[in-house]
Chains A and B, each alone.
Chain A
Amino acid sequence: MIPFDFEYYKPATVAEACETYRTLQEQKKSVVYYSGGTEFITLARVNQISADAVIDLKGIPEVQVLEMQGDQFIVGSAVTLNQIAESRLFPLLAQTVRGVADHNSRNKITIGGNLGSRLSYREGVLPLLLADCKVRVAGGMKGEGERVVSLSDVFDKQLNLEQGEFLLQILVDKEYLDLPYVHLKKTKQSKVDYPLVSVAALVKDKEIRMAFSGICEYPFRLGEIEEVVNNTTFARKEQLKQVVGKLPAAILDDLHGSAGYREFVFRNVVQETIDALEWAQK
Chain B
Amino acid sequence: MISNGKSKTVIELHVNGDSHEVMVRSGDTLLDILREQLGLSGAKRSCENGDCGACTVLADGKPIHSCLSLAIESCDQSLMTIEGLMGSPIQQAFVDNWAIQCGFCTPGFILNCHALATEHPNASDEVIEEWMCSNLCRCTGYQEIKEAVQSVVRASGNA
How distant is B51 from chain A, measured CB to nearest CB, in Å?
8
Within 8 A of A (CB), among B1-58: 1-6, 25-29, 32, 48-50, 53, 56
Give A9 to B70 CA distance when docked, in angstroms.
Answer: 12
Residue tally, chain A, CB below 8 Å to B = 35
Please tell me if the beta carbons of A38 and B29 are within 8 angstroms of each other in the complex: no
How distant is B116 from chain A, measured CB to nearest CB, in Å?
9
Binds A, one of B79-87, B96-104, B127-135: B127-135
Q: List the A residue with the shortest CB-CB distance to B27.
A: A2
> At the interface, yes or no: B114 with Cβ under 8 Å from chain A?
no
> At the interface, yes or no: A42 with Cβ under 8 Å from chain B?
yes
Give A4 to B56 CA distance when docked, in angstroms.
Answer: 24
> At the interface, yes or no: B73 with Cβ under 8 Å from chain A?
yes
> At the interface, yes or no: B107 with Cβ under 8 Å from chain A?
no
> At the interface, yes or no: B122 with Cβ under 8 Å from chain A?
no
Give A253 to B41 CA distance when docked, in angstroms.
Answer: 42
Give A7 to B156 CA distance when docked, in angstroms.
Answer: 46
Give A10 to B2 CA distance when docked, in angstroms.
Answer: 5
Give chain B residues whose Cβ lies under 8 Å from the Cβ of A5.
Answer: 6, 25-27
Please tell me if the beta carbons of B5 and A7 are within 8 angstroms of each other in the complex: yes
Give A16 to B1 CA distance when docked, in angstroms.
Answer: 8
Q: Is the interface of A mostly helix, strand, loop or mixed?
A: mixed
> At the interface, yes or no: A149 with Cβ under 8 Å from chain B?
no
Please tell me if the beta carbons of A107 and B63 are within 8 angstroms of each other in the complex: yes
Please tell me if the beta carbons of A107 and B62 are within 8 angstroms of each other in the complex: yes
Set A37, A38, A59, A102: member contacting B2, Cβ < 8 A: A59
How distant is B117 from chain A, measured CB to nearest CB, in Å?
14
> At the interface, yes or no: A8 with Cβ under 8 Å from chain B?
yes
Give chain B residues whose Cβ lies under 8 Å from the Cβ of A37.
Answer: 68-70, 73
Set A3, A8, A11: member contacting B70, Cβ < 8 A: A8
Please tell me if the beta carbons of A107 and B27 are within 8 angstroms of each other in the complex: no
Within 8 A of B (CB), among A30-50: 37-38, 41-42, 44-45
| CB-CB under 8 A for A42 and B50, given A107-B63, A191-B133 | yes
Q: Is the interface of B mostly helix, strand, loop or mixed?
A: mixed
How distant is B76 from chain A, measured CB to nearest CB, in Å?
9
Please tell me if the beta carbons of B2 and A9 are within 8 angstroms of each other in the complex: yes
Set B5, B27, B73: member contacting A58, Cβ < 8 A: B73
Give A16 to B2 CA distance when docked, in angstroms.
Answer: 11
| CB-CB under 8 A for A9 and B68, given A102-B134, A104-B53, A192-B133 | no
Residue tally, chain B, CB below 8 Å to A = 34
Set B2, B27, B63, B134: member contacting A44, Cβ < 8 A: B27
Please tell me if the beta carbons of A41 and B70 are within 8 angstroms of each other in the complex: yes
Give chain A residues whose Cβ lies under 8 Å from the Cβ of B62.
Answer: 82, 107
Per-residue interface assignment for chain B, residues 119 to 143, with 1 indicating a CB less than 8 Å from any chain A CB and 0 otherwise = 0000000000011011100000000
> At the interface, yes or no: A276 with Cβ under 8 Å from chain B?
no
Per-residue interface assignment for chain A, residues 1 to 32, with 1 indicating a CB less than 8 Å from any chain B CB and 0 otherwise = 11111111111100010001000000000000
How distant is A37 from chain B, measured CB to nearest CB, in Å?
6
Other than the given A41-B70, A102-B134, A104-B50, 12 more pairs (CB < 8 A) read A2-B28, A5-B6, A7-B4, A7-B5, A16-B1, A45-B48, A101-B50, A104-B65, A108-B64, A108-B65, A191-B133, A192-B133
The 9 A-B residue pairs with the shortest CB-CB distance in the complex, in nearest-first order: A2-B27, A104-B134, A8-B26, A10-B2, A102-B134, A5-B6, A8-B4, A107-B62, A38-B68
Q: A interface vs B, CB < 8 Å?
A: 1-12, 16, 20, 37-38, 41-42, 44-45, 54, 56, 58-59, 82, 98, 101-105, 107-108, 191-192
Q: B interface vs A, CB < 8 Å?
A: 1-6, 25-29, 32, 48-50, 53, 56, 59, 62-65, 67-70, 72-73, 112, 130-131, 133-135
| 28 sample A-B contacts, Cβ–Cβ < 8 Å, listed by A number | A1-B28, A2-B27, A2-B28, A7-B4, A7-B26, A8-B3, A8-B26, A9-B1, A9-B4, A10-B1, A10-B73, A11-B1, A12-B1, A20-B1, A41-B69, A42-B49, A42-B50, A101-B50, A102-B134, A103-B63, A103-B134, A104-B53, A104-B63, A104-B135, A105-B50, A107-B62, A108-B64, A108-B65
